[in-house]
C-alpha cells in the first residue's frame, strides 16, 4: 500500500497575520518594556552597586514626597469627576444636533489641539496681576462687583495661591484643556446609541432623566469607562502645567519630582537614584489605580442581560 503523501501546503511564517503585530511588539519592547525593566532593576540597586532599598528610603524621606502624593491623588480624583460630568453634559448637548452644533463642537475641540506647553504659556500670561483674566473681569464689571462685596481688594494675583487652592486652579486649567477629549469619546458612544431604546422608555412613562440614567448610560458604559480610565491615568501623570505656572517644588506632583531630580538637579549626589525610585513608584501607582478602577466599574454587560 502506497503511503499517502501530505499534500497540505506548508505555512509560510512570514505570511502569518501575526507578523503584522511584530512592528508594534518590537516598538513596545524597545521603548516601554526594556526601559521599565531597567528602571525597576536600578531602583533596587545602590549607587555603588548591590541590592538595596536605600533609593526608596530616600524617596520616602523626601520632605515633598507626601505632599506630591496627596496632590497627585486629589488632582486625579477631582479632575476625573469634574471632567466627566462636564463632558457628559456637553456631549448630550452636541448630540441633540441643534442649529450651530457643528460650530459649537469645533470651538469646544480647540483646547484639545493645543500642546501642554502652549496651554501653560497661555494661562501663565492670564494669571499674572495685569493678565487677560483680570482684564476680562474689568471689562464685564466683575472686578467692581467683587470689590463692592468686599471679596477682593484690587486686582487678584492668581499666582499667589498655594496649597490646595493652587491644585484646584490647576484642575480647572486641565479641565479646560482635556475635557474635549473625554467629551468626544462619550459623544462617539452616544452617536452609536439606538434612540429607539430611549423613546420606548419614555413611552412607558420614564422621564428624560430616568431614561438617561437607566437606559442611555448603561448602554454607552464601554465608552464611559474608556474615557474615564484614560483620564485617570493621565491625571496621575500631571506635572507640566504645574511647573510652567508655579515652577518646581511649589506645587509638587509625583511626575514633577521625577523631572526635578532627573533634569533640574541631575548633578546632585543621589538625584538619579531618587528619580528612578519616583519613576517606579509612580508606575506602580498608575497600575494600582487603573486596576482598581477597572474592578470597581466591572459589571454585567447590558447586552448579556435577558
> What pTM value is reported for the model?
0.84
Quickly state the pLDDT bin for 152 (edges 50, 70, 90).
Answer: confident
Does residue 305 fall inside a structural domain? Answer: no
Average pLDDT, the chain: 85
Q: Which among 261, 235, 236, 237 has a CA at the least distance from the CA of 248?
A: 261
Is residue 27 in some structural domain?
no
- Whether 207 shows a pLDDT value over 80: the answer reads yes
Please name the residues in contact with 125: beta carbons below 8 A apart, sequence gap of 6 or more. 131, 132
Give the DSSP letter string of 202-229.
HHTT--HHHHIIIIIHHHTHHHHHHHHH
51: phi then psi, degrees, rounded to nearest 5: -65, 135
CB contact burial 53-88 (16+ within 10 A = b; e otherwise) = eebbeebeebebbebbbebbbebbebbbebbbeebb
Residue 208 resides in a domain? yes
- What's the rounded Cα separation, in Å, for the pair 251 and 160? 12
Q: Which residue has the cell 502645567?
A: 241
Q: Is 10's pLDDT higher than 70?
A: no
Statement: residue 122 has pLDDT above 70: yes
Whether 201 is covered by a domain: the verdict is yes
Kindly provide the b/e burial profile for residues 155-176, where b requires at least 16 CB atoms within 10 angstroms of the residue's own CB: bbebbebeeeebbbbbbebbbb
88 within a domain of the structure (yes/no): yes
In a domain, 90, yes or no: yes
Domain boundaries, position 239: 53-298
Whether 250 maps to a domain, the answer reads yes
CATH of the domain at 200: 1.10.3720.10
- Structure confidence by residue, pLDDT tens digits, 22-51: 888 888 888 888 888 888 888 898 877 788
Residue 21 belongs to some domain of the structure: no
Number of separate domains in the chain:
1
Amino acid at each position: 500500500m502506497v503511503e499517502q503523501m501530505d499534500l497540505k501546503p506548508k505555512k509560510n511564517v512570514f505570511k502569518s497575520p501575526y507578523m503584522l503585530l511584530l512592528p508594534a511588539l518590537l516598538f513596545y519592547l524597545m521603548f516601554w518594556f526594556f526601559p521599565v525593566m531597567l528602571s525597576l532593576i536600578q531602583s533596587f540597586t545602590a549607587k555603588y552597586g548591590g541590592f538595596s532599598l536605600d533609593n526608596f528610603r530616600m524617596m520616602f524621606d523626601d520632605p515633598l514626597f507626601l505632599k506630591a502624593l496627596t496632590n497627585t491623588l486629589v488632582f486625579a480624583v477631582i479632575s476625573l469627576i469634574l471632567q466627566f460630568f462636564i463632558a457628559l453634559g456637553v456631549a448630550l448637548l452636541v448630540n441633540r444636533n441643534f442649529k450651530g452644533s457643528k460650530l459649537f463642537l469645533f470651538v469646544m475641540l480647540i483646547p484639545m489641539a493645543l500642546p501642554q506647553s502652549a496651554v501653560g504659556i497661555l494661562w501663565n500670561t492670564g494669571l499674572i496681576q495685569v493678565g487677560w483674566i483680570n482684564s476680562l473681569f474689568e471689562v464685564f464689571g466683575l472686578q467692581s462687583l467683587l470689590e463692592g462685596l468686599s471679596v477682593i481688594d484690587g486686582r487678584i494675583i492668581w499666582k499667589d495661591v498655594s496649597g490646595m487652592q493652587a491644585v484646584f486652579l490647576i484642575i480647572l486649567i486641565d479641565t479646560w484643556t482635556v475635557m474635549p477629549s473625554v467629551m468626544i469619546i462619550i459623544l462617539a458612544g452616544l452617536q452609536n446609541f439606538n434612540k429607539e431604546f430611549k423613546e420606548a422608555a419614555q413611552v412607558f412613562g420614564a422621564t428624560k432623566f430616568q431614561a438617561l440614567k437607566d437606559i442611555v448610560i448603561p448602554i454607552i458604559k464601554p465608552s464611559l469607562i474608556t474615557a474615564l480610565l484614560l483620564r485617570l491615568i493621565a491625571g496621575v501623570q500631571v506635572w507640566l502645567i504645574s511647573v510652567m505656572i508655579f515652577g518646581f517644588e511649589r506645587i509638587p506632583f509625583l511626575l514633577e519630582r521625577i523631572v526635578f531630580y532627573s533634569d533640574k538637579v541631575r548633578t546632585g549626589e543621589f538625584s538619579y537614584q531618587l528619580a528612578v525610585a519616583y519613576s517606579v513608584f509612580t508606575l506602580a501607582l498608575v497600575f494600582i489605580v487603573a486596576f482598581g478602577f477597572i474592578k470597581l466599574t466591572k459589571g454585567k454587560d447590558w447586552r448579556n442581560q435577558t
